Structure 1
Amino acid sequence: MTVGRPREFDPDEVEDVAMKLFWEHGFDGVSISDVTAATGVNRRSIYAEFGSKEHLFERALQRYAAGPSVYASEALTRPTAREVAEAMVHGAADTVSGEVPGCLTVGEAPGLPEFRDATVHRLAERFDAAVAEGELTAVDTLLLARWIAAVCQGIAVQARSGATRADLHAVADLALAGWPGAASGH
């Protein structure tokens, strides 16, 4: 039995560095050479662990969803649909105005359209539950979910363009003024 050489790097650290690189520069703006330069891990080891740039991005995206962007899944647990929407737009404002401006999920990369679509459908399902409970009435829940997602994505674009955290929270509040039933006091 041959014992392989011990792994010379921590894949979690490489994923974390790759996540930040993809977040800052986008999928097309990052090469495996960039990842090797930032981590000190050679290309062969990165390819052996991750298989391809696309698979490395996939893992970086999972890390992003469970880390900086965890607000999105946590928002779905809020007691009311309005609180879900508030947690989404204000969570986006906090996340995209942090260490790296913008959002990893806004842009084009393998798997991102599907990731965004899944987020919209999870929101729509949560809003469907609010309709079933009588909290929301006469709304297209998929359209409502797309609106909240669009606000979050717009907030990310504005952050990348230099808007401050306060500006982004003000945009979130202004968007929420259009929440169904907002004029009647919810």
Structure 2
Amino acid sequence: MTSSSDEEPVVPLTPEEEAAWRALSRAVVVIPRVLDADLLESQGLNGTEYSVLMNLSEAPGRSLRMSELAGYVSITVSGVSRVVERLSRRGLVERVRAESDGRGQIAKLTPAGLERLEEAWPTHLAGVRRHVMDHLRGIDLAAFAEAVSRIARTEPGPPVRRTLRAPH
């Protein structure tokens, strides 16, 4: 059996590998949902809004180009635009033109946005501890972090378009 993209043999997963893969694939779906639910219920912020505030708080000048912010938050530029617009209506972020070229848009954290992030942070931290870290007790966290970081460094490249495959 070979893969069509690189013609290397496909090696089936062992039962242990299959279990690890299925657990990881489920976790990457469940973790954002449960953290999002905690933040929404307690703070009225969703996970993406929290991530925008957090990334802006850590950036020099507490501001980022919209395209950079989209990359940090792992959503499209149009998606981050909508989130920034919502946060802007609440006075948490402001949108300004980039001084360097006048065309780009910059998202800048307001003092109210920083205060809101500081209010939401304990809820987020408690959720991360309860939904993730408590389940990782007893494992080598450094090795786990390194392995997951290697996975996260994989560049997906441009979007792949679905193609119709001819029957064999």
TM range (shorter): under 0.3
Higher Rg: 2
Which gives a bigger RCO, structure 1 or 2 (Cα 8 Å, sep 6+)? 1
Which protein is richer in strand relative to its size? Answer: 2
TM-score (structure 1 length as normaliser) = 0.24
More helix by share: 1
Question: What TM-score results when the alignment is normalised by the length of structure 2?
Answer: 0.26
